[in-house]
Chain A
């Protein structure tokens, strides 16, 4: 069976992910404590990566897109994730109709 490039990337990504899930046990558990800077850096990763992905969508893609993301950020202060997601979807659909 011939694998596509995407399949190989997925397999490599799966191995990388499994390594993160055993990594702490295999490596960090050998030390008495995690260095505070490493700890703080690791904790920052998901927020940093996702914020870096989203920011250009808010800045460069159009008025409807910018307003939608501002609305999503505000709704997220109160609502559960599925509700934010559905309202955000309605928001982009509606605003694109109006603004074009």
Chain B
């Protein structure tokens, strides 16, 4: 077992390439949050305490659409529901940590953090608290800082449609969907959710198309089921 200090820096180093790739999206989030009516403080707060990229984007998409508050919170919860699986898995790896250490560590359990934990556990290395925090802070602090930078720049842009900025969220969401394409039942879920959402958008109206479309995909995914040997780590 290495010293806590070197564990911390090993974790931090593992996170660097990923935050470099994800950082621009924090700035984008900040800019779009302003465009969708949040203040710089609210955008920064969201990155600090909610801290979950895709659900933050979904959140601001709904803020601008004048949606009932409980539905925004529910949508954020729905997008982050996959974390329930992560914490079930990671909880097994960190049984040796104290209660406080465990529940602090869970706060940092975003997608790439989970992927790095899986990778380290696969190598047979015990997951230490220092490593988790080194990794977690290296994602979290730049994520907050870049959100604020993006928010400050975002407030300078006057006509977002002229710059195509109004269409960046759909592009971002579609890229995420495509990134999931190796997952079980992906094509069936995309077609079901997409088609039902398009119909619901027309016949029921926004924002209900999101809930109705998503439910169609989830029910379909649950009824097809997944292969027995599928790993949670297929993120």
Binding site for B on A (CB under 8 A): 4-14, 16-29, 34, 36-60, 65, 68-69, 72-73, 76-77, 80-82, 84-85, 88-89, 92-93, 96
Contact = CB atoms under 8 A, between A and B. Distances in A.
Closest CB pairs A-B (n = 9): A44-B221, A48-B217, A52-B213, A24-B88, A25-B91, A76-B178, A41-B222, A24-B87, A55-B194
A49 B196 CA distance: 12
Contacts of B194: 51-52, 54-55, 58
A49 B212 CA distance: 9
Interface string B22-42: 001000000000000111011
Interface string B86-125: 1111111000000000110011010000000000000000
A89 B183 CA distance: 26
A10 B83 contact: no
Contacts of A53: 58, 61, 170, 173, 197, 210
B52 interface: yes
A48 B201 contact: no
B63 interface: yes
* Interface residue SS majority, chain B: helix
A38 B72 contact: no
Contacts, number: 282
B87 A25 contact: yes
Given A10-B50, A23-B83, A43-B82, A54 B174 contact: yes
Interface string B157-201: 000000110011011111111111101111001101111111001
Of the four ranges (under 10, 10 to 19, 20 to 34, 35 or more), the interface on chain B belongs to 35 or more
Contacts of B10: none
Contact of B84 (A20, A48, A92): A20
A24, A58, A89: residue with the most chain B Cβ atoms closer than 10 Å:
A24
